[in-house]
Amino acid sequence: MLETLSPWWRRILSSAGYTALVALVAALGYLTFRATNERRSSPQGAADTVNENETLPLVQFDSFSSRFERSSDGERINVSLRLRSTAPGSLECQVYVVARNDVDSPKVWGVWPSQGPEGAVTAGGHFRGNTNSGERVTLTSSWVRISAPIVHPLGLPPFETAVVYVVGPKGDVLLARPFSLN
């Protein structure tokens, strides 16, 4: 059979070349077997597995909703969501919700719970934290419903975003999540 091949192929298929070719085919077969076997051993497939370097956030949120209400005494937006802790045990924290409109002029903002001049929100509507003026909540592995009514000034542009802040017992921000109100 080697006689029918060109001289180049005869050199390749000589004993050293033939051995190298067999080793290459065996290595490719082993790698294919290993990749297939790893995919089968994973119950959800390789694409669905969680990266070992990814960490679960300490505070999770769910079911965000907002509703604009108008009554004879004024306007407000009601923000609602659920929070829970992913850590074992309980987590004492404070929750703030800041609603903003930075697009239109004048800029409009509101906060829940309402804050005094030394509160967690600056006079310009930016969160600064470092106070104990938030809504005290104890988070566990069960969901806790947060309902935050925020007063909206009459005749001004509507709020466009709401940012939920969850602050831990040491003053560290555990969650800062913006939500669109449109």
pLDDT for res 57: 85
Residue 19 main-chain phi, psi, to 5 deg: -65, -40
Query: Who contacts 160 (Cβ-Cβ below 8 Å, separation ≥6)?
Result: 100, 101, 102, 103, 180, 181, 182
List, for residues 101-152, the tens digit of each pLDDT value.
Answer: 888 877 889 999 988 777 888 877 788 877 788 899 999 999 999 999 999 8
Residues 72 and 44 in one domain: no
List, for residues 27-81, the tens digit of each pLDDT value.
Answer: 666 666 676 665 554 444 444 444 555 677 899 999 999 999 888 878 899 999 9
Q: Residue 139's closest CA among 78, 88, 81, 96?
A: 88
User: Number of structural domains, the chain?
Assistant: 2
pLDDT for res 112: 93
Residues 144 and 69 in one domain: yes
Q: Give the distance between the most distant pair of CA atoms in the chain.
A: 101
Residues 70 and 101 in one domain: yes
pLDDT for res 2: 55
Place of tokens 């309902």: 147
Q: Residue 76: give the domain boundaries.
A: 59-180
Q: What is the pTM of this model?
A: 0.67
Q: Residue 97's closest CA among 116, 83, 110?
A: 110
Instruction: Annotate 130-161 with DSSP letters as a single string.
Output: -SS-SEEEEE-SS-EEEEEEEEE-TTSPPP-E
Residues 92 and 146 in one domain: yes
CATH number of the domain within which 142 lies:
2.60.40.10
Under a CB-based contact definition with an 8 Å cutoff, are residues 116 and 134 in contact?
no
121: Cα separation from own chain's centroid: 24
Q: Which of 48, 71, 86 is the last residue of a domain?
A: 48
- Beta-sheet pairing, 59-71 with 74-85: antiparallel
Within-domain flag for 94: yes
Q: Residue 164's closest CA among 86, 54, 60, 67?
A: 60
- Beta-sheet pairing, 144-152 with 173-180: unpaired
